[in-house]
């Protein structure tokens, strides 16, 4: 809707001058509010685009004294790049598991009537919002210690997959439910087997949903701090989320140059992933797309 469409068309004689003034003032106020909100949301983020290029970054947001020194510092830091790679391994692993298991389960649940299916799904969804939060960190810590998956990236992937799967199944099932059955039936009439139907018809048609879930899982795993923080011990296995908090001097002062460049490098992939999916498939809104 455009700005003018919201207002009734002007009457031929024109409204009385007081109303014109009033309308003008409210319009100005409206944009002032929008501008203030924009500042509120943008201000904290400015640092991450300015400070990395500053020769001597401080915490204050200021125009940079341009230099790429921070990035070369990042390049030479033994943990920084390693941690980005770790984050990539962990989040790609999580994404793959969530996608494959989530797609299979949601398809089966969408098509075959299982008694108590909806109750089960809701219960799992509920549990996931808790466990992927904080409440279950103690037993998860103990569980992983006992099965010797502590300090293992596989352990991190498995725990995050378990936490993300219910919501993924929930959302994917919506997609599967919305796929017209006649596609599958038509393939079936031509003699396709269930697996052929899945490969040829269901998965390609559910692709936007799968892409959404892929990015969702990726972004979640990429940014998750708590699970690797609790489950990993060795610094060379830490993903970026955890490593960021190790960039301090012996005196406890943050190494701002390193942190700023690292934050930027760490943030770019999620933004790109998001942009790709929303460009390609349009931004489709799903309840609970990010937990």
Partner 1 sequence: MARIILDTLSKQYPNGVLAVDALDLTIADGEFFALLGPSGCGKTTLLRTVAGLENATGGRLLSDDRDVTHLPPGKRDIAMVFQDYALFPHMDVADNIAYPLRIRGEHRTQRRAKALETGTGLGLENLMDRRPGQLSGGQQQRVALARAMACQPSVFLFDEPLSNLDARLRLEARTFLKKLQKDLGVTTIFVTHDQAEALAMADRMAVMELGKIRQVGTPAEVFHRPANTFVANFIGSAPMNLLAGETADDGLRIGGFTVPFPHDSPRLPPGTPVTLGARPEYVDVVGTSTPGAMAGTVTIVEYLGATALVSVQIGDERVPDGADPVLGLTVQAMVAEGTEPQIGARIGVTHQPNRSLLYAADTGDLVSGTGSGTGSGTGSGIPGSTAATVSTTP
Partner 2 sequence: MPRTAVATDAAGLGRARAGGFVAPALVLVGLFLVFPALWTIYLGLTDYRLTGLAAAAPKMVGLQNFRDALADRFFLNSLWLTLIYVAGSAIIGQTVLGFALAWMMQKVRPSVRGVVETVVLLAWLLPGSVVSFLWWAMLNRRDGTLNALLDTPGYNWLIQHPMLSIIVFNTWRGTAFSMMLFSAALQAVPPSQLESARMAGANGAQQFRDVVFPHIRGHVLTNTLLISLWTFNDFSPYLLTAGGPNHKSEILPAFIYNRAIGTGELGYGAAISLIMLVINLIIALLYLTLLRTRKVKT
Q: Which does 223 bind (CB under 5 to 8 A by kind): partner 1, partner 2, none?
A: partner 2
Distance (Å, rounded) from C-alpha 53 to C-alpha 66? 5
Q: Which does 79 bind (CB under 5 to 8 A by kind): partner 2, partner 1, none?
A: none
Distance (Å, rounded) from C-alpha 184 to C-alpha 11? 57
Shortest distance in whole angstroms from residue 121 CB to partner 1: 22
Task: Name which of 247, 256, 243, 252 is nearest 51 in CA terms.
Answer: 256
Two tokens at 276?
Answer: 């790709």
Q: Which does 240 bind (CB under 5 to 8 A by kind): partner 1, partner 2, none?
A: partner 2
Shortest distance in whole angstroms from residue 273 CB to partner 1: 22
**Is the CB of 13 or the CB of 195 nearer to partner 1?**
195
**Is the CB of 206 or the CB of 215 nearer to partner 1?**
206
- Neighbour-count burial of 231, counting CB atoms closer than 10 A to its CB (0-12 exposed, 13-18 middle, 19+ buried): buried
Shortest distance in whole angstroms from residue 27 CB to partner 1: 41
Q: Which does 204 bind (CB under 5 to 8 A by kind): partner 1, partner 2, none?
A: partner 1
**Is the CB of 54 or the CB of 184 nearer to partner 1?**
184
**Is the CB of 201 or the CB of 215 nearer to partner 1?**
201
Which residues of this chain interact with partner 1, rule CB under 8 A?
180, 182-183, 185-192, 196, 200-201, 204-205, 207
Shortest distance in whole angstroms from residue 182 CB to partner 1: 4
**Is the CB of 113 or the CB of 148 nearer to partner 1?**
113
Shortest distance in whole angstroms from residue 270 CB to partner 1: 27
Q: Which does 9 bind (CB under 5 to 8 A by kind): partner 1, partner 2, none?
A: none
Shortest distance in whole angstroms from residue 234 CB to partner 2: 17
Q: Which does 248 bind (CB under 5 to 8 A by kind): partner 1, partner 2, none?
A: none
**Is the CB of 141 or the CB of 183 nearer to partner 1?**
183
């Amino acid at each position: 809707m455009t700005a003018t469409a919201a207002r009734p068309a002007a009457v031929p004689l024109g409204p009385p001058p007081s109303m014109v003034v009033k309308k003008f003032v409210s319009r100005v106020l409206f944009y002032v509010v929008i501008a203030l909100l924009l500042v509120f949301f943008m201000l904290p983020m400015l640092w991450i685009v300015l400070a990395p290029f500053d020769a001597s970054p401080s915490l204050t947001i200021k125009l940079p004294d341009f230099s790429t020194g921070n990035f070369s510092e990042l390049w030479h830091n033994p943990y920084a790049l390693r941690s980005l790679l770790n984050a990539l391994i962990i989040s790609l692993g999580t994404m793959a598991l969530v996608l494959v298991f989530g797609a299979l389960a949601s398809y089966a649940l969408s098509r075959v009537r299982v008694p108590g299916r909806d109750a089960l799904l809701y219960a799992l969804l509920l549990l996931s919002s808790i466990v992927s939060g904080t409440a279950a960190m103690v037993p998860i810590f103990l569980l992983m210690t006992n099965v010797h998956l502590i300090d293992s990236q596989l352990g991190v992937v498995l725990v995050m997959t378990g936490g993300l799967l219910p919501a993924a199944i929930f959302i994917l099932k919506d997609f599967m439910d919305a796929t017209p059955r006649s596609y599958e039936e038509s393939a079936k009439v031509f003699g396709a087997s269930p697996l052929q139907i899945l490969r040829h018809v269901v998965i390609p048609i559910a692709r936007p949903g799968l892409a959404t879930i892929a990015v969702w899982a990726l972004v979640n795993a990429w940014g998750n701090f708590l699970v690797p923080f609790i489950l990993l011990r060795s610094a060379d296995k830490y993903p970026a989320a955890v490593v960021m908090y190790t960039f301090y001097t012996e005196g406890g002062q943050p190494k701002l140059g390193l942190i700023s460049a690292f934050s930027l490098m760490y943030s770019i992939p999620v933004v790109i992933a998001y942009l790709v999916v929303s460009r390609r498939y349009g931004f489709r809104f799903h309840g609970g797309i990010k937990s």
